[in-house]
């Protein structure tokens, strides 16, 4: 006997409720403001699920056709902006399902057979992040290409290499840029490795324990392009390791971006004047008319705080959470989305900025001509003359102290002055004391000699398909 419907039954889960949900509760629990971004994945998952239900005899062909057409129509409405998401319907899953039931009736109401929102949201998030992995791999490749183009363009130009932000040894600008090529390359590998663990289907785990209905998880996984299905229904419905891994990759990418940003901020200062960041990528001051500020690298550096913060949010969310699904997990989406948006925007604007960067090569070279930057080369020279390294270190240290006192550089010293520190020093020392000689002597694998750097550029260009 059908009684008067209680207010709560307007909800898809309203059957056991006698009272309507409080508005404050609807507002507090709703996630539609942000999870609507998952709609295309939710719909793709539902279509694959429905097709499987038909194969298993749970839906008829007519019902399946109606579900597919209905979902396609809803997707079009959402794409076109005419679909109205309702916060009283909580989330993206129920907004779409309710719209489907309203559109096609009973067939729509069968769609949720053998499925829970718990495996549904795990599915949507995995599909979404899988796409983001592919997108990030492209963005990282673009950033790598920009670094390699700069390395190619400035091949042969020399700058000081730093440790402790003190001039240490001369290096090629190209070598410095290729360091970032390596970092972005590792980031790309990490993202693609993380993709492997994302790319397993949780659908069919249902609420937590699996289902008694005759489903075929493997065929749905295959249809959605997954490499397989997850193994344990309880693990899968509450698992967000894959999201933590993805955001951890994001945090490391943003950390790398913050390092190059920091260098750009320093290098574009008047104190360094190593680079000119194009006007297009700078902003001015509202009070100081002379200012040209490196806001883009500053913001990228600053945004590493929010990405690392998102990672901490996810860890804290999962810590101590009992199996299986808990509503806490709804809080996973905003940090994930924020990390995706922040890192992708930072990566692409950094690539754009680097593509427009001009190095002041004269100034950079000049900076290698003071500060005893070839002192290590003199020590190595002595080692080759059979002086034990520790002794050589002392000899060069005393020579440097002598130069500081005289106010000159090592290469300004006369041979007999140098020989006072070690009789092993001969006329050939001057080749070693030159900055170019120093750079080109560093032929060890991974070193900064032009020959090595040129090989590294060629390898990178090949790997990136730039030649
Ligand atoms: N909106 C929820 C989330 O994002 C979907 C799953 C809700 N499941 C549930 N039984 N309440 O996690």
- pLDDT tens profile 46-77: 999 999 999 999 999 999 999 999 999 999 99
- pTM equals 0.93
Please state the rounded mean pLDDT for residues 201-217: 97
Nearest CA to ligand 1 atom 4: 330
Q: What is the pLDDT of residues 258-275, one digit of tens each?
A: 999 999 999 999 999 999
User: Which ligand 1 atom minimizes the distance to the CA of 333?
Assistant: 4
- What is the predicted pLDDT for the residue at 282? 81
pLDDT at 431 over 90: no
User: Which ligand 1 atom minimizes the distance to the CA of 90?
Assistant: 1
The CATH code for residues 21-113 is 1.10.275.10
Q: Judge residue 402's burial from the number of C-beta atoms within 10 Å of its C-beta, 0-12 exposed, 13-18 middle, 19 or more buried.
A: middle
User: Which ligand 1 atom minimizes the distance to the CA of 329?
Assistant: 12
- What is the predicted pLDDT for the residue at 9? 54
Distance 320 CA to ligand 1 centre (A): 19
Answer yes or no: 285 catalytic.
yes
Rounded Cα–Cα distance for residues 217 and 122 (Å): 14
Distances (CA, A) of 136 to 128, 198, 354, 371, 382: 12, 14, 18, 41, 49
Band of residue 84 on the pLDDT scale cut at 50, 70, 90: very high
Rounded Cα–Cα distance for residues 373 and 375 (Å): 6
Mean pLDDT of the chain: 95
Nearest CA to ligand 1 atom 3: 330
> Which of the residue ranges 242-256, 290-304, 339-353 would you say has the lowest mean pLDDT?
290-304
Please state the rounded mean pLDDT for residues 296-312: 98
Band of residue 382 on the pLDDT scale cut at 50, 70, 90: very high
- Residue ranges of domains in the chain: 21-113, 118-365, 375-433
Question: pLDDT exceeding 90 applies to what percent of the chain?
Answer: 90
Peptide bond connecting 324 to the previous residue in cis, omega within 30 degrees of 0: yes
Helix H or strand E segment including 358: strand 358-359
Q: Which residues are near ligand 1 (CB < 6 Å)?
A: 31, 35, 91, 117-118, 121, 327, 329-330
- Annotated active-site residue in 285, 304, 310, 434: 285
What 8-state DSSP symbol labels residue 201?
B
Q: Which is higher by pLDDT, 233 or 3? A: 233
Distance 408 CA to ligand 1 centre (A): 71
pLDDT at 85 over 80: yes
Q: Which is higher by pLDDT, 2 or 15? A: 15
Q: What is the pLDDT of residues 157-168, one digit of tens each?
A: 999 999 999 999
Q: What is the pLDDT of residues 92-122, one digit of tens each?
A: 999 999 999 999 999 999 999 999 999 999 9
Please state the rounded mean pLDDT for residues 218-223: 98
pLDDT at 370 over 90: no
Band of residue 400 on the pLDDT scale cut at 50, 70, 90: very high
Rounded Cα–Cα distance for residues 317 and 328 (Å): 7
**Architecture in CATH of 375-433:** Orthogonal Bundle (1.10)
Contact call for residues 314 and 244 (beta carbons, < 8 A): yes
Q: Which of 118, 314, 331 to mutate to test the pocket of ligand 1 (most atoms within 8 A of CB)?
A: 118
Answer yes or no: 164 catalytic.
yes
Would you state the structure tokens that stand for residue 441, as one six-digit string?
């002597």
- Annotated active-site residue in 24, 82, 164, 286: 164
Q: What is the pLDDT of residues 168-177, one digit of tens each?
A: 999 999 999 9
3-class secondary-structure state, position 71:
helix
The CATH number of domain 118-365 is 1.20.200.10: yes
pLDDT at 8 over 60: no
């Amino acid at each position: 006997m059908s009684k008067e419907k209680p207010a709560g039954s307007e909800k898809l889960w309203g059957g056991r409720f006698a009272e309507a949900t409080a508005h404050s509760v609807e507002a507090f629990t709703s996630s539609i403001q942000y999870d609507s971004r998952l709609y295309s994945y939710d719909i793709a998952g539902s279509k694959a699920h429905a097709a499987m239900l038909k194969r298993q005899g749970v839906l008829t062909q007519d019902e399946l056709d109606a579900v597919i057409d209905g979902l396609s129509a809803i997707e079009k409405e959402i794409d076109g902006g005419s679909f109205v998401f309702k916060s009283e319907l909580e989330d993206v899953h129920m907004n779409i399902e309710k719209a489907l039931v309203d559109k096609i009736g009973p067939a729509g109401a069968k769609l949720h057979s053998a499925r829970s929102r718990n495996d549904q949201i795990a599915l949507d998030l995995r599909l979404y992040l899988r796409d983001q992995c592919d997108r990030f791999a492209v963005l990282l490749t673009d950033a790598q290409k920009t670094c390699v183009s700069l390395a190619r363009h400035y091949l042969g130009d020399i700058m000081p290499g730093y440790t402790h932000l003190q001039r240490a040894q001369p290096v090629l600008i190209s070598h410095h840029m290729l360091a970032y090529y390596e970092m972005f390359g590792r980031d790309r590998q990490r993202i693609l490795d993380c993709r492997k663990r994302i790319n397993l289907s949780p659908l069919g785990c249902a609420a937590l324990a699996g289902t008694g209905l005759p489903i075929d998880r493997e065929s749905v996984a295959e249809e959605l392009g997954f490499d397989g299905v997850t193994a344990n229904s309880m693990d899968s419905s509450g698992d967000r390791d894959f999201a933590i891994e993805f955001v951890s990759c994001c945090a490391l990418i943003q950390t790398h971006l913050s390092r190059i940003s920091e260098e750009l901020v320093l290098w574009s200062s008047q104190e360094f004047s190593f680079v000119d960041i194009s006007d297009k990528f700078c902003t001015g001051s509202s009070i100081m008319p002379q200012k040209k500020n490196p806001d883009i690298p500053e913001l990228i550096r600053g945004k590493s705080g929010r990405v690392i913060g998102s990672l901490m949010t996810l860890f804290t969310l999962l810590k101590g959470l009992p199996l299986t699904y808990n509503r806490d997990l709804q809080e996973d989406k905003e940090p994930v989305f924020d990390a995706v948006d922040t890192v992708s925007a930072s990566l692409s604007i950094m690539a754009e900025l680097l593509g427009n960067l001009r190095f002041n090569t004269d100034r950079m070279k000049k900076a290698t001509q003071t500060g005893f930057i070839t002192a290590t080369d003199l020590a190595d020279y002595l080692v080759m003359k059979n002086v034990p390294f520790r002794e050589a270190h002392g000899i060069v240290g005393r020579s440097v102290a002598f130069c500081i006192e005289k106010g000159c550089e090592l290469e300004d010293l006369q041979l007999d002055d140098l020989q006072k520190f070690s009789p092993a020093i001969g006329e050939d020392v001057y080749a070693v004391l030159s900055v170019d000689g120093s750079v080109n002597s560093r032929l060890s694998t991974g070193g900064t000699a032009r020959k090595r750097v040129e090989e590294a550029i060629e390898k990178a260009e090949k790997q990136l398909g730039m030649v």
